Amino acid sequence: MSYKVFDICIIGYGPVGATLSGLLSSLGLSVLVIEKNNGVSPTARAINTDSEQLRTFNFLNIAPKIIANSRKIKKVHFTDSEFNPYSTIDIPKEDNLGWPPALLFYQPELETIIRDSNLKYKNLKILENTKAVNIEDTNPIRVDIRNDRKDSRIYCKYLIGCDGANSFVRKYIDSKLIDFGFDQDWIVIDAHTTKQIDISKDEAKQICDPNRLQTYVPGRRNHKRFEFKLLKGETKKDFTKKKVWELLSPWINKNNSKIERAVVYKFHACIADKWKDKNIFIAGDAAHQMPPFLGAGMGTGIRDVFNLAWKIFLVIKGKANVNLLETYQLEREPHANWTVQQAKLIGEMMEQFSYREKGEKYVPSNTGYGEVFPHLANGYYGDPTDGLIATPFCRFNLDSSEKDSDEYFGWNFGLISKKKLPKEINLILKKMNIKFLSVNDNKLKNYFKDANYLLIRPDKYLFSRSRTNSELKEALCELEKQFSLIT
């Protein structure tokens, strides 16, 4: 009997699965999505995105639409109980990626934008109301699915579990969650103002009140997000409607706002020890979970799939050796681990400030909170302490066309230089499918300090900076060693 074998099957059509399915479909691969629910989840959980995710969303041509439906934020304060700031993070309108570094959105709307954009792909099939119930790691991989109590099977070359915190795929590949020991109950309240009121519109607040830690985030349009830590002994039963309005009383009231939902969440911090088994992968909340203080849970998942999409594409198209797929966990896991630890640390910093107001001491389990994401732990060549190598490369407008650098390079590896290339290098670039751009641009001044050649990856991380032709040849050899591009 003949059956269709999809290039990719994605289990889970949350924000991470939806983004991945768009990215892979845009590359022409045949993609099947299996989602047990129907329609976008109405629950607004994630609220903050950043420039790196917007870069990814722009590969789906939806970044401007997301920005148009979001709120740009100017500051994040850590304050005492009376809202006096202990410390403030200023957020610029744009960073060197050419997108806002922090942007507040409404999750059901964001997911709708991604899903609407996915509708254009004829090579993307979405089965909603369908649950993945079993996996057989055969060749091709078999996934047993259940829809309206009817059982059937689908087949694929690669399977990716974007199936959230209780991931079925993670359990199938026998991956264990490493727990970082952070478990806190918080009530998360989404409200919408119905009148103009005097409430901070472009500043978020982490309120380190010794009586109860709190978070306020001004969402897009009238959406407002509030989070309150549960006190010792409190349970969700204590949070009656009356109690919820009481908590909100310094901010909003029944006369000027409506509550959409108030739900108690258990925040925790953990990471999976195994992200891949043969041709089966996990990404997003399936691979890591973190408290929302950094606003980076979904973002970490979007980074996972931007990393994975081009690798799977190159391997399926025979443009890279299958070893390339081994770099997924090597590159993503340390970065995600850092992010989970940072999110946990922000929670601990809030505790520390609140203890200070009480005149008591609290020592966080870690130190070294930084606002900037770290460089990749693997997948580069050179010294990343220059602050450039292994970090997201900037986006700039080309002199010669309307395009920007991201559009010009697309999903290709790229070489940027101010110098003409020798014939020998041109031949190597051709063999490795690397796209060349000659620039004479002041915007890249810091990148070209002590360097004449910049190698960038398809996900726009800077691979290397080289000064001489022989240094460039070394970097290209290293690129080949790490990514096996000559097949």
Ligand X SMILES: Cc1cc2nc3c(=O)[nH]c(=O)nc-3n(C[C@H](O)[C@H](O)[C@H](O)COP(=O)(O)OP(=O)(O)OC[C@H]3O[C@@H](n4cnc5c(N)ncnc54)[C@H](O)[C@@H]3O)c2cc1C
Q: Which residues bind ligand X (CB under 6 A)?
A: 11-17, 34-37, 41, 45-48, 131-132, 162-164, 168, 188, 265, 284-285, 292, 295-299, 301
Nearer to ligand X, 24 or 455 (CB): 24
122 vs 346: CA distance, rounded Å: 43
Nearer to ligand X, 19 or 26 (CB): 19
CB of 131 to ligand X, least distance (A): 4
Instruction: Check: CB of residue 444 under 8 Å from CB of residue 450.
Output: no
Copy the structure tokens of residue 41. Answer: 């989840």
356 vs 421: CA distance, rounded Å: 60
Encoded amino acid at 129, one letter: N
38 vs 18: CA distance, rounded Å: 13
Nearer to ligand X, 124 or 388 (CB): 124
CB of 135 to ligand X, least distance (A): 10
CB of 184 to ligand X, least distance (A): 12
DSSP SS3 for 22? helix
Instruction: Check: CB of residue 315 under 8 Å from CB of residue 368.
Output: no
Instruction: Check: CB of residue 425 under 8 Å from CB of residue 469.
Output: yes
Nearer to ligand X, 47 or 428 (CB): 47
Query: Of the candidates 378, 298, 371, 267, which has an alpha carbon nearest to the alpha carbon of residue 333?
Result: 378
Nearer to ligand X, 49 or 482 (CB): 49
Q: Kindly give, in sequence order, each residue whose CB lies less than 8 Å from that of residue 480, ignoring residues fewer than 6 positions away.
A: 432, 486
Element (H or E) spanning 209, and its range? strand 203-209
CB of 342 to ligand X, least distance (A): 13
Query: Of the candidates 289, 19, 40, which has an alpha carbon nearest to the alpha carbon of residue 164?
Result: 289
CB of 383 to ligand X, least distance (A): 30
Q: Kindly give, in sequence order, each residue whose CB lies less than 8 Å from that of residue 279, ignoring residues fewer than 6 positions away.
A: 137, 141, 157, 158, 159
CB of 235 to ligand X, least distance (A): 18
| Distance, C-alpha 168 to centroid of its chain | 21
Nearer to ligand X, 43 or 240 (CB): 43
Backbone angles phi, psi at 444, to 5 degrees: -100, 15
Nearer to ligand X, 15 or 392 (CB): 15
CB of 104 to ligand X, least distance (A): 8
CB of 19 to ligand X, least distance (A): 8
CB of 130 to ligand X, least distance (A): 6
Nearer to ligand X, 34 or 425 (CB): 34
Instruction: Check: CB of residue 452 under 8 Å from CB of residue 464.
Output: no
Nearer to ligand X, 43 or 366 (CB): 43
Nearer to ligand X, 190 or 406 (CB): 190
Copy the structure tokens of residue 478. Answer: 């290293």
CB of 301 to ligand X, least distance (A): 4
293 vs 345: CA distance, rounded Å: 9
Instruction: Check: CB of residue 97 under 8 Å from CB of residue 392.
Output: yes
Q: Kindly give, in sequence order, each residue whose CB lies less than 8 Å from that of residue 237, ignoring residues fewer than 6 positions away.
A: none
Copy the structure tokens of residue 290. Answer: 């973190």
CB of 299 to ligand X, least distance (A): 4
Nearer to ligand X, 160 or 472 (CB): 160
- DSSP letter (8 states) at residue 237: G
Encoded amino acid at 341, one letter: Q
383 vs 227: CA distance, rounded Å: 41
Nearer to ligand X, 171 or 319 (CB): 171
The residue with its CB nearest to ligand X is 14
Copy the structure tokens of residue 447. Answer: 């990148």
296 vs 279: CA distance, rounded Å: 27
476 vs 293: CA distance, rounded Å: 40
CB of 469 to ligand X, least distance (A): 42
